[in-house]
């Protein structure tokens, strides 16, 4: 094997190890919250502000700008689809300008997905809600951010970090 091919193979191997290590050890600049009572953990940016309800069933994190947030709700047993439908009804009655974009089952870890837009006091927002049903709970992870910058927030990293204990 030529030295240039060995070099490229070495660089590729180091890149794989670096990426794998970052995924396995958490993202730099992120912190992990573990809820032992409700049985999950999630990672989010260190500079986001976290709040938890007294009964530990609601966990909210907000970006420093307050234009993006993520909320985890842990509710009683029902199907993920039932939980999604109840949530859609609540959102629809709570906001006059609520537009449902997607409402569908998912394959993989999450059981159900809802995508929506809505008008807030400070502008147009986009949100996505993911539902996971277990024998004991339904977990809802809901993201929201200003519509124009939604894709710039680290929601995909937060969502993929969510783990059940």
Residue 45, domain extent: 30-164
Model pTM greater than 0.95? Answer: no
Examine residue 24 and state whether it is found in any structural domain, yes or no: no
For residue range 42-55, what is the model confidence (pLDDT) as tens digits?
999 999 999 999 99
Contact between 124 and 146 under an 8 Å Cβ cutoff? The reply is yes
Contact 113, 131 (CB under 8 A): yes
Would residue 88 count as lying in a domain?
yes
Other beta carbons within 10 Å of 83: 25
Tell me, yes or no, whether 66 lies in a domain: yes
Q: Is residue 130 very low, low, confident or very high in pLDDT (cuts 50, 70, 90)? A: very high
**Domain presence at residue 14:** no
Report how many domains make up the chain.
1
Confidence of residue 21 (pLDDT cuts 50, 70, 90): very low
Q: Which DSSP state fits 22?
A: H
Kindly state whether residue 120 falls inside one of the protein's structural domains: yes
How much is the CA Rg of the chain, to the nearest whole Å?
A: 19
Query: 25 in a domain, yes or no?
Result: no
Q: What is the pLDDT of residue 26?
A: 56
Q: Is residue 147 part of a domain?
A: yes
CATH of the domain at 138: 3.40.1000.10
Q: Would you say residue 1 lies in a domain? A: no
């Amino acid at each position: 094997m030529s030295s240039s091919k060995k070099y490229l193979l070495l660089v590729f191997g180091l890149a794989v190890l670096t990426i794998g290590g970052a995924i396995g050890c958490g993202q730099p600049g992120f912190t992990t919250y573990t809820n032992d009572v409700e049985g999950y953990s999630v990672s989010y940016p260190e500079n986001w502000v976290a709040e938890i309800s007294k009964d530990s069933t609601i966990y909210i994190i907000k970006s420093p700008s307050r234009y993006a947030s993520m909320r985890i709700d842990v509710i009683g047993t029902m199907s993920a689809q039932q939980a999604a439908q109840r949530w859609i009804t609540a959102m629809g009655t709570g906001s006059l300008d609520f537009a449902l974009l997607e409402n569908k089952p998912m394959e993989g870890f999450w059981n159900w997905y809802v995508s929506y837009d809505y008008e807030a006091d400070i502008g147009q927002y986009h949100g996505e809600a993911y539902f996971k049903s277990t024998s004991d709970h339904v977990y809802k992870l809901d993201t929201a951010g200003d519509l124009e910058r939604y894709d710039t927030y680290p929601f995909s990293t937060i969502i993929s970090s969510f783990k059940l204990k």
